[in-house]
Amino acid sequence: MDERSISNDEQSAAPRRAAGRPRASESAHGSLALLLNLVRSGVATTRQELEIQSEMGRAVVTDRLATLLKLGLIEEGELGLAVGGRAPRHVRFRPRMGIILAAVLDHSSLAVGVSDLTGRLLAEHHEAVELAAGPEPVVQRLATLFAWMLEEHGSEGGIWGIGLAVPGAVEKPDGQRLFAPALTAFQNWDGFPFVEQLATLVGAPVWVRSGVQTMTMGELKSGSGIGLADMIFVKLGRSISAGVISEGTLHRGAQGAAGMIGHTFVEGGSLETIAGSEALTREARQAADSGRSPYLAGVLARTGEVTVTDTGHGAQLGDPFCIDLLGRCGRAVGEVLAPLANLLNPSLIVLGGAVAETGDILLAAVREAVYRQSHPVVTRDLRIVRSQMGGSAGLVGAAQVVAEALFDPRFLQGWITLGSPREHPEFKDFLARAAVDTVTRPAKPRPPGGSLA
Amino acid sequence: MAITGLGPHGERAVPADQVGLSGADADAARKRNFSVAVVLHTTVSDWAKEELAGIVATLGRYGAAVVEVIDCAFDVDRQVAELQRLATEPVDAVISIPIGSARAADAHRAIAAAGKKLLLLDNAPTGMLPGKDYVSVISTDNFGLGQIGAELLAGHVAPGGTVGVLAYGVDFFATHEREIAFRKWMATHRPDLSLVRGKFADVTQAKAATAGLLQGNPDLAGLFAVWDVPAAGAIAAIRDAGKTIPITTVDLGNDVAADLAAGGLIKGIAAQLPYDQGVAVGIATILGLLDRQPPPWIALPGLGVTASNVVEAYQVVWRAPAPAALLRARKPRKTMP
């Protein structure tokens, strides 16, 4: 199920007619789904506008709106402007009819959030996590935090969906299966029915995406990318990857693995081994040990470790080693981004992640390399900025993935007459399969290197 | 003590003692004579007075004048109105503690939109972003405070008992973090205990909320109150019910400190250091005004207080000699043979 970041609402709201055959919208499911999406997207909010946009008759529109009102999906709003005759009554979508839960798992932290049905975040929480203990405590922890958030921000319709972001690529599920496959992002997790357990514990469908893809969606929805159709988000952390929005749509690639730019070769090795946070930390530690960086040597003596964040502080305070290290890192990132800019002509490149947060020296080096190696037309209006959303980008994006998936016309038709996506037959099937999977698949993760048998 | 919590956007904390001004920054600030307004939820609590003292003293040191201090009396509408007014006033920066997460967000955004620097205490309303909407959040490590509250209570609860959380039923990041951390610590270290929850929306309801918890859970064997004022209500409710139940809480207020020292129901307190926090706020404000970009999440560790260190902790937190009641209860130092 693809995200349609900007144009989905308009596309799904547009009536589709197959000549000589009955329209999908002539079935109750189809017409209800069409009208709900017209109202939700704001394309049509009065009965007259809905009749025009949907090409349905007055009686059908009135009947379907009554059903949507009864299901609690829309409500009567204020009076509109009268243009000859009675003033029309607006109808509007009820974003608090259900809630969406979002979770972002990373190598050392997890984040949870709750949003309304438009994907607007209502609350968020971040905490450190020990992934070494395996997937079972993590799934339990998510369920506990979700239960707490539900108590604080619950709605009459309960939880409608969960968006989950994980490090690394997430394969697209095959055509037969609507929901995501087992996670392979963490060592030893392959084979553990993580998504199935989470869906079973919370009782709602789960959509899974890679962390960088949800961060890209979040940056587009609430960050520097608001209103844009072509942008690149780059996550500079332990791993380096990119999310691409092209003409309003997130590009996921054939296997869902688009954007793995950390594997691109630059002088000295792959980009990740030059500019990833582990590589930078290693170099910083060596400089602290040898005394090449007086600032980092001081940090090491005081705290017993040096981090990428320390390198950023050192650069801001004028430490020559830190300035040189982050400058080299920025140039390497810029050299990999320049071909992407030439290929895709984005209007914005956003840098996020721990390495991007080190400050302006890295940002300046990235800009210099991109501007130097790109066609002048490509860089004429190109902005390169640092993300200001931090860890919130992934949460906003994960909630947005769910908000769009729930109202995707194909999925919406499956649940709209039942009142809640939790009643969708495919989700019910998924839960039934999950119950079997949880029993038959290994309760504990496999050891590295596969089964011992 | 290490800082265990993450910031409102998942940021790793930069400890307050690592954020400082260089001599050149200090000179630059003094030449510019900045004007700063402070918006607090209340100005009458001990916490607020000490916080303000730290802010005012630090800003004064760097040539900045505190031109207005506003007491919102816990009223979010009042805060919204005052922030909207301040956005049009000739102040360079505003320091504010957001009262309602969602409702106060737009009024806070108006400060940055007017070209002024905004510094936040304790929490950032959901959706507001550092760099764009505000400079920094400066806070005690509330997650750590919840962990301290759990750790100090655990030793007073027998295996298999029921423990209550007296929670604040308002969308407030700081108290939420304390509660989440308390629950997490208990689930990890005392999985034998069952947790129940009572909620109050206003501190005047804390006594009734505790009474409700006691009625629903006659076997209640411990309680964590998310700050000291509701903890005082909880003490009253437990005494009314004729019970003796150990309590831990947050903030070293006079009433709970006296109860702790006298061997009452309070068994432990996770204290904040409001003066130190005020100093950190003052430094971050000057850095922000000089466009020096202080870290988005600056945190201070909490301080665990029990009957054995309450006098010393009182001196550290309030920078004043402990009251006679605390000193009387202090155990005499053991003399070495």
Q: What confidence tens digit (pLDDT) does each residue in A433-448 have?
A: 877 766 665 544 433 3
| Dist. CA A254–CA A249, nearest whole Å | 15
Out of A93, A120, A142, a domain closes at A93
Q: How is the beta sheet containing B194-200 ordered, strand by strand?
A: B194-200, B162-168, B220-225, B247-250, B266-271, B303-305
Residue A148 has its nearest CB partner, among B8, B9, B180, at B180
The CATH classification number of B142-272+304-329 equals 3.40.50.2300
CATH 3.40.50.2300: which residues of chain B?
14-139+274-298, 142-272+304-329
Range B104-111 average pLDDT: 93
pLDDT at A446: 39
Residues forming a β-bridge with B15: B299
Separation of CA A71 from chain center: 28
pLDDT at B63: 97
A410 and A261 assigned to the same domain: no
Query: Residue A7: pLDDT above 60?
Result: no
pLDDT at B332: 61
> Is A220 part of a structural domain of the chain?
no
| Dist. CA A203–CA A101, nearest whole Å | 12
pLDDT at A337: 97
Query: Residue A208: pLDDT above 60?
Result: yes
A236 and A334 assigned to the same domain: yes
Query: Which residues in chain B are closer than 8 Å to A124, comparing Cβ atoms?
Result: 8-9, 126
Determine which of A254-258, B264-268, B272-276, B294-298 has the lowest per-residue pLDDT on average: A254-258
Query: Residue B36: pLDDT above 80?
Result: yes
| Dist. CA A430–CA B174, nearest whole Å | 38
Domain that holds residue A112: 99-213+393-440
Q: What percent of chain B is modeled with pLDDT above 70?
A: 98
CB of A115 within 8 A of CB of A89? no
Write the pLDDT tens digit of every residue in B85-97: 999 999 999 999 9
| Dist. CA A438–CA B38, nearest whole Å | 55
pLDDT at A187: 58
Write the DSSP symbol of residue B171: -
Average pLDDT, chain A: 85
Residue A10's pLDDT band (cuts 50, 70, 90): very low
> Is A450 part of a structural domain of the chain?
no
Average pLDDT, chain B: 93
CB of A226 within 8 A of CB of A220? yes
Shortest Cα distance, chain B CAs vs residue A125, angstroms: 7
What CATH number did the domain enclosing A35 receive?
A: 1.10.10.10
Q: How would you label B186-224 residue by residue, b for 16+ Cβ within 10 Å and e otherwise?
A: bbeebeebeeeebbbeebebbbebbbebbeeeeebbbbb
How many domains would you assign to chain A?
3
A258 and A338 assigned to the same domain: yes
Query: Which residues in chain A are closer than 8 Å to B180, comparing Cβ atoms?
Result: 125, 127, 145, 148
| Dist. CA A386–CA A363, nearest whole Å | 7
Residue A150's pLDDT band (cuts 50, 70, 90): confident
| Dist. CA B108–CA B111, nearest whole Å | 6
pLDDT at A184: 56
Q: Which helix (H) or strand (E) holds A281?
A: helix A277-290
A234 and A337 assigned to the same domain: yes
> Is A59 part of a structural domain of the chain?
yes
pLDDT at A186: 62
> Is A219 part of a structural domain of the chain?
no
Write the pLDDT tens digit of every residue in A19-37: 444 454 457 888 999 999 9
Write the pLDDT tens digit of every residue in B158-209: 999 999 999 998 878 889 999 999 999 999 999 999 999 999 988 899 999 9
Q: How would you label B226-236 residue by residue, b for 16+ Cβ within 10 Å and e otherwise?
A: bbbbbbbbbbe
Write the pLDDT tens digit of every residue in B310-320: 999 999 999 99
| Distances from the Cα of B334 to the Cα of A241, B311, B330, angstroms | 61, 16, 12
> Is A446 part of a structural domain of the chain?
no
Query: Which residues in chain B are closer than 8 Å to A359, comparing Cβ atoms?
Result: 293
Residue B336's pLDDT band (cuts 50, 70, 90): low
| Dist. CA B151–CA B42, nearest whole Å | 30
Write the pLDDT tens digit of every residue in A276-289: 999 999 999 999 99
Torsion of CA A105, B294, B120, B81, to 10 degrees: -120
Query: Which residues in chain A are closer than 8 Å to B18, comparing Cβ atoms?
Result: 313
Residue B222's pLDDT band (cuts 50, 70, 90): very high
pLDDT at A173: 65
pLDDT at B286: 97
In the three-class reduction of DSSP (H, G, I as helix; E, B as strand; rest coil), residue A350 is classed as: strand
Query: Residue A274: pLDDT above 90?
Result: yes
Write the DSSP symbol of residue A263: G
Write the DSSP symbol of residue A104: E
Q: What percent of chain A is modeled with pLDDT above 70?
A: 87
> Is A255 part of a structural domain of the chain?
yes
Q: Which helix (H) or strand (E) holds A136?
A: helix A135-153
Q: Supply the Cα-derived Rg of chain A in whole angstroms.
A: 24
A235 and A371 assigned to the same domain: yes
CATH architecture of structural domain B14-139+274-298 = 3-Layer(aba) Sandwich (3.40)
Shortest Cα distance, chain B CAs vs residue A138, angstroms: 12
Strands A206-210 and A231-236: unpaired
pLDDT at A108: 85
Shortest Cα distance, chain A CAs vs residue B131, angstroms: 6
| Dist. CA B253–CA B55, nearest whole Å | 20
CB of A150 within 8 A of CB of A201? no
Out of A58, A78, A93, a domain closes at A93
In the three-class reduction of DSSP (H, G, I as helix; E, B as strand; rest coil), residue B272 is classed as: coil
CB of A93 within 8 A of CB of A416? no
Burial class (CB in 10 A: 0-12, 13-18, 19+), A121: buried
Query: Residue B148: pLDDT above 70?
Result: yes
In the three-class reduction of DSSP (H, G, I as helix; E, B as strand; rest coil), residue A285 is classed as: helix
CB of A210 within 8 A of CB of A241? yes
**Nearest residue in chain B measured CA to CA from A153:** B171
Which residues of A, range 380-419, sit inside 8 Å of B by Cβ? 386, 388-392
pLDDT at A378: 93
Query: Residue A120: pLDDT above 50?
Result: yes
pLDDT at A18: 43
| Dist. CA B324–CA B337, nearest whole Å | 29
> Is A261 part of a structural domain of the chain?
yes
Separation of CA B155 from chain center: 24
A49 and A160 assigned to the same domain: no
pLDDT at A82: 77
Residue A388 has its nearest CB partner, among B7, B129, B187, at B129
In total, chain B counts a number of residues equal to: 337
Residues forming a β-bridge with B168: B200
Residue A178's pLDDT band (cuts 50, 70, 90): low
Write the pLDDT tens digit of every residue in A65-94: 999 998 889 998 888 877 777 788 889 999
- Look-up of token digits 């209502």: A122
What CATH number did the domain enclosing A340 receive?
A: 3.30.420.40
A262 and A364 assigned to the same domain: yes
> Is A179 part of a structural domain of the chain?
yes
Ramachandran class of A379: left when φ > 0, alpha when ψ lies in -120 to 50, beta otherwise: alpha
pTM value is 0.85
Query: Residue B257: pLDDT above 60?
Result: yes
A231 and A355 assigned to the same domain: yes
A88 and A145 assigned to the same domain: no
Q: Supply the Cα-derived Rg of chain B in whole angstroms.
A: 21
Residue B129 has its nearest CB partner, among A127, A359, A389, at A389
